[in-house]
């Protein structure tokens, strides 16, 4: 659990603004005492990448949930890690699927879909990297 001012922070979801881009449904931690809000540490790097991409594409709003297929229960649970091998496998499958779709989107010359898929790929490769680096110890 995260603490702030000695109080435990509350998990919630909300909209954050990155420059002019609004990102909806971002998992957040909220301190009931000083009302500080921060991006949930488990999705911090994914949020940064997604916000950067969306901002770079001149997007005015996006939905975090469309890109990061993270289980809410897992994000907000206290236990550290479950099965990182299975998680890595799942992320790899999602990357494969997105690459297939990207080929389809190119064939259809659907620019908007291509942009969305590229964003999703960026978020998922970041996630895979994180899983891989966290897996090095102990094995």
Residue placing its CB nearer to Zn ion in the complex, 33 or 69 = 33
* Distance (Å, whole) CA 135 – CA 60: 36
10 contributes a contact to Zn ion by CB under 5 A: no
Residue placing its CB nearer to Zn ion in the complex, 37 or 95 = 37
Least Å distance between CB 30 and Zn ion? Answer: 9
Contact between 94 and 72 under an 8 Å Cβ cutoff? The reply is no
Decide: helix, strand or coil at residue 100: helix
Contact between 59 and 74 under an 8 Å Cβ cutoff? The reply is no
103 contributes a contact to Zn ion by CB under 5 A: no
4 contributes a contact to Zn ion by CB under 5 A: yes
Least Å distance between CB 7 and Zn ion? Answer: 6
C-alpha atoms less than 13 angstroms from C-alpha of 84 in its C-beta half-sphere: 15
Q: Provide CB contacts within 8 A for 40, sequence distance 6+.
A: 11, 26, 27, 28, 29, 75, 76
The position carrying tokens 């649970």 is: 77
34 contributes a contact to Zn ion by CB under 5 A: yes
One residue of 29, 31, 121, 131 binding Zn ion per CB under 5 A: 31
104 contributes a contact to Zn ion by CB under 5 A: no
Residue placing its CB nearer to Zn ion in the complex, 36 or 111 = 36
Instruction: Pick the stretch among 13-21, 35-43, 44-52, 73-81 that binds Zn ion (CB under 5 A).
Output: 35-43
Least Å distance between CB 32 and Zn ion? Answer: 8
Task: Read off the tokens for 90.
Answer: 């799942």
């Amino acid at each position: 659990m995260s603490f702030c001012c000695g109080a435990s922070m509350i998990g919630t979801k909300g909209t954050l603004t990155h420059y002019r881009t609004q990102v909806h449904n971002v998992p957040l931690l909220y301190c009931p005492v000083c009302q500080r809000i921060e991006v949930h540490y488990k999705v911090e790097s994914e949020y940064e990448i997604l916000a950067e991409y969306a901002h770079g594409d001149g997007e005015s709003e996006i939905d975090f949930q469309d890109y990061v297929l993270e289980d809410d229960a897992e994000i907000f649970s206290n236990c550290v890690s479950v099965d990182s091998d299975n998680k890595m496998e799942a992320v790899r499958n999602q990357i494969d699927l997105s690459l297939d779709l990207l080929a389809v989107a190119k064939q259809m010359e659907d620019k908007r879909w291509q942009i969305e898929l590229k964003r999703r790929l960026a978020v998922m490769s970041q996630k895979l990297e994180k899983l891989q680096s966290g897996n090095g110890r102990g094995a």
